[in-house]
Amino acid sequence: MVKHRWFNSMLLSACLVLLPGCSNTAQPSLYQRLGAEPGIATLVDGLLFEIEHDQRIVHHFADTDIGRFRAMLAEQLCDLTGGPCQYSGSTMQQSHTGFNISLADYDALVAGLINVMQRQQISIADQNALLALLAPMYKDISYR
Ligand code: HEM
């Protein structure tokens, strides 16, 4: 029993000294690395600007309630990146069906997002981490 306690305390000490990851100093989530709520709001507003100025895709949003889109996208990004939100919008399939969104449209929107992340000076690693979370969605959003 005593030996067991000694081993545990040695393990804890090693953990604290050698491996900061073992202690309570957890790595910041992607949500935090993106600047938390204000960072994501700026990201979404930047993306709206990119969409508005992209003649390849802006027509898809002609009848969209932009206020809702803005709020839902921010909530979704917060949820996806480990923030304190729960996405309450429609599924990607529900919200994009009928818009005839091509893979080229999808790429155009993602290119816009990359522009915004560059402007916000988000590190390449964090840009890639966000893109990796979004990439699997293309099959529910675009028809090819
Ligand atoms: C990673 C890519 C994308 C994500 C994460 C995403 C996310 C979202 C979200 C969260 C909504 C709101 C859903 C709701 O109202 O409940 C939405 C709606 C919408 N998205 Fe996307 N989207 C993506 C790609 C695209 C692309 C490529 C297009 C077109 C070029 C597009 C066009 C639209 C439109 C038009 C709406 C509004 C639908 C409506 O008016 O009801 N999205 N999207």
- The per-residue pLDDT for range 55-97, each reduced to its tens digit, is 999 999 999 999 999 999 999 999 999 999 999 999 999 999 9
pLDDT at 18 over 90: no
HSE-CB for 3 with a 13 A CA cutoff: 0
What mean pLDDT do residues 34-59 have? 98
Domain ranges in the chain are: 27-141
Q: Atom 26 (ligand 1): residue with closest C-alpha? A: 106
Query: Which ligand 1 atom sits closest to the C-alpha of 109?
Result: 27
Does the Cβ of 76 fall within 6 Å of ligand 1?
yes
> 27-141, what's its fold?
Globin-like (1.10.490)
How many A from CA of 124 to the centre of ligand 1? Answer: 24
How many A from CA of 25 to the centre of ligand 1? Answer: 36
Q: Atom 33 (ligand 1): residue with closest C-alpha? A: 96
pLDDT at 115 over 90: yes
How many A from CA of 91 to the centre of ligand 1? Answer: 10
- The per-residue pLDDT for range 23-33, each reduced to its tens digit, is 457 899 999 99
